Amino acid sequence: MSPVLDLLLNLLVKNGLLTAFALVGATMWLSYQLSAKLTRGRLHGSALAIMLGLLAAYVAGVSTGGKNGVVDVKLLGGVGLLGGAMLRDFAIVSTAYGATLSDMRKCGVSGVVSLLLGVVLSFVVGAGVALAFGYTDAVSVATIGAGAVTYIVGPVTGAAIGASSELIALSIAAGLVKSVLVMVGAPLFARSIGLDNPRTAMVFGGMMGTTSGVCGALAAIDPRLVPYGAMTSTFYTGLGCLMGPSVLFFATKALLG
């Protein structure tokens, strides 16, 4: 290895967080380029970025024999900090600060109902899948159910109720699958479900909740609808983080014993 290359690699390793930001930025740029050129925006760039991230984690895990994805590659150790609990929780708080009560009132009754119904239905579906795969304890079922709400609510709930790292990983996977399905599927059915105006966009955001999935889908349908869907989906994440470790977990515990 040449001295210049060795110096560059040492610099990247010592500044791991900056390297991680650069890697994520490059991945997002590549994903949006692929989205525009290969799918004409039908498959949103953020969905492709998620897929590339999962693929990179798999390849890194297989090649290094580790269990932490790309973090096991020395050069990419900063990804562990970038994707860790500290910045995750910061993102949740900043998302909540982006919504106001005045915006909530603009959603009307339909927005409020869609929020509550969306969180509960997503949790019930996720919990049902967990039960179908043989999980019977309240912590496991509630964690995976919360993951079906969003891939942010799952880890928050799991950490609060003492779930294992494996369960939290499953909850994230459930949320990612939902996000991609919403992103890909909604544009295909937008016309048949009347997803073409601000009110239905707000209800859609409240029912689906996954902000990346909702915004990606609405961007493919009509970019003017994105702020309306983002409004309710932002509240959805915050509401899910509140209900997951409390009301929904206690209800699950009461039912399963």
Name the packing angle between helices 226-243 and 101-132 (round to 10°): 60
Amino acid present at 252 = T
Whether 43 and 35 have beta carbons less than 8 Å apart is answered as yes
Both tokens assigned to 14: 């010592």
**pLDDT value for 190:** 81
- pTM for the predicted model, two decimal places: 0.68
Tens of pLDDT along the chain (257 residues) come to 577 677 777 777 777 778 888 888 888 898 888 888 887 766 667 677 777 887 888 888 888 877 777 777 777 777 777 776 667 666 655 655 555 556 556 666 777 788 888 899 999 999 999 999 888 889 999 999 999 998 888 888 988 888 888 888 888 888 888 888 888 788 778 888 888 888 888 888 888 888 778 877 887 788 788 878 877 887 888 888 889 899 999 999 998 87
**pLDDT value for 59:** 83
Whether 208 and 36 have beta carbons less than 8 Å apart is answered as no
